[in-house]
Amino acid sequence: MIIRRYISLQVLGSAAAVALVLTVILMSGRIIKYFGQAADGRLDVSLLTAVLVYRLPGFLDLIVPLGFFIAILLTFGRLYLDNEMSVLYASGVSRAQIVGHLLVPGALVMALVATTSLWITPASNARSERLFAQQAERNSFDLIRPGRFQPVGKRMLYAGALSPDKQRLLDVRLFEQKPGDKGVKQVLVHAQTGRSERDAVTGERFLVLEDGVRYELSPGEAAYREFRFASYRFRLPEPALVESLSKLSSYDTPTLYKESRTSRTALAEWLWRLSLPLFVPSAMLLAFALSRVNPRQGRYLKLLPAILLYMSYVVAIGAARNAIEKGKAGEALVWSVHLGYFLLALLVLGAENLQRRWRALRARPEVAA
């Protein structure tokens, strides 16, 4: 009981720490991407936190099994390095018993991954997709940020500042290209203020520029045309509305299962969701088998090869998923990959016993002679 509690706490604590570090590292790239979209005016800054929260479960689906795998490698590598495993073996604790002690943390991690992959992640993806759909439905004028060049349809807009009530743009510059008699014509518009206006009849939205000047120039010509105006308006583009979920990753699990009966793409997504928790038992056995190190070698000797082996497992499942999507294979391919890596884990785990028995069999003829 004491050994089981000690091993479980060590493994789960290390797994939580590793998963946290991996989450921070992997989420950093996504954070930079969303901040870039916000800076370009394609994403409202107030939605950044919600988007990141909704994306987090999708990362945890792969991070948690990998963190558990690395945690077992590090924990038992330290136990071997400190000769604690030698003490356990000398006390009559077998490798099979230690694997039994790992079943409790393994079951907890497997249940967590199954919960996220089958329920939490699809729900979060659905909310994220709806959030981006609502963002797309917002007019381009609502996302304009002062001091930045931002695309508005086929035009490029720059606003120096916002009015105190945030209803008007100040020091507005508009750039666009139009076909002319001698090639492309450059149009530059500079206005003191700009505001959004909706047509009462058609419902279309317009950007109305006031008190400004419009220049028309042709490349290679010194002459240009200048027009001064009191009011100048153009129609703002209205994006298409998104009424339903379009990504299979956003479908809830029961709906996805129904779709998998008629769609190979849905079948591949369904098998991928089922595969995520199945990484845990094979990864647990592989990590424990590969964690044995010589104290003189250090516990990080097998860390890189072990991680590469785990990544090959994930890549193999991903390749099987793609093959199913393209109709080149059936769902049996996914199960054969899982079975193959599970048998590989058992083989690596029992390699030492097999070597010992082989040496014993070779020694028998010599004794008989």
| Whole-angstrom distance, CA of residue 18 vs CA of residue 74 | 10
Judged by average pLDDT, the poorest of 73-77, 175-179, 200-204 is 200-204
Structure tokens at 295: 């104290």
- Residue owning tokens 């035009």: 155
What was the pLDDT predicted at 239?
Answer: 56
pTM over 0.85: no
55-83 pLDDT, tens digit per residue, is: 889 889 999 999 999 999 999 888 888 88
Contacts 24+ apart (CB under 8 A), 348-354: 348/285, 348/286, 348/289, 348/290, 349/95, 349/99, 349/285, 349/288, 349/289, 351/289, 352/292
- Residue owning tokens 């190190």: 293
Confidence of residue 112 (pLDDT cuts 50, 70, 90): very high
Going 72 to 74 to 75 to 81, the CA torsion angle's sign is positive
- Decide which of 47 and 287 is more confident: 287
Q: Residues near 329 by Cβ (< 8 Å), separated by ≥ 6?
A: 320, 323
| Average pLDDT over the chain, rounded to an integer | 83
- Decide which of 299 and 313 is more confident: 313
What was the pLDDT predicted at 79?
Answer: 86
Region 239-250: what's the mean pLDDT?
A: 65
Judged by average pLDDT, the poorest of 64-73, 91-100, 101-110 is 91-100
Mutual angle of helices 332-349 and 303-325, in 10-degree steps: 160
Cβ contact 93:223 at 8 Å: no
Report CA dihedral (265, 270, 273, 275) to the nearest 10 degrees. -100
What was the pLDDT predicted at 139?
Answer: 47
What was the pLDDT predicted at 353?
Answer: 66
- Decide which of 178 and 23 is more confident: 23
What was the pLDDT predicted at 208?
Answer: 86
Q: Residues near 369 by Cβ (< 8 Å), separated by ≥ 6?
A: none
Region 318-337: what's the mean pLDDT?
A: 92
Structure tokens at 343: 């048998």
Confidence of residue 352 (pLDDT cuts 50, 70, 90): low
pLDDT at 122 exceeding the cut of 80:
yes
Structural domain boundaries in the chain: 2-137+244-368, 145-235
What was the pLDDT predicted at 366?
Answer: 54
- One-character DSSP codes across 298-357: -TTTTHHHHHHHHHHHHHHHHHHHHHHHTTSS-THHHHHHHHHHHHHHHHHHTHHHHHHH
Structure tokens at 203: 């419902």
Region 23-31: what's the mean pLDDT?
A: 86
267-281 pLDDT, tens digit per residue, is: 999 999 999 999 999
- Decide which of 185 and 281 is more confident: 281
pLDDT at 12 exceeding the cut of 50:
yes
**β pairing state of 224-235 and 205-217:** antiparallel
In percent, how much of the chain has pLDDT > 90?
A: 30
- One-character DSSP codes across 86-146: HHHHHTT--HHHHHHHHHHHHHHHHHHHHHIIIIIHHHHHHHHHHHHHHHHHS-GGGG--T
What was the pLDDT predicted at 67?
Answer: 94
Confidence of residue 114 (pLDDT cuts 50, 70, 90): very high
Cβ contact 174:157 at 8 Å: yes
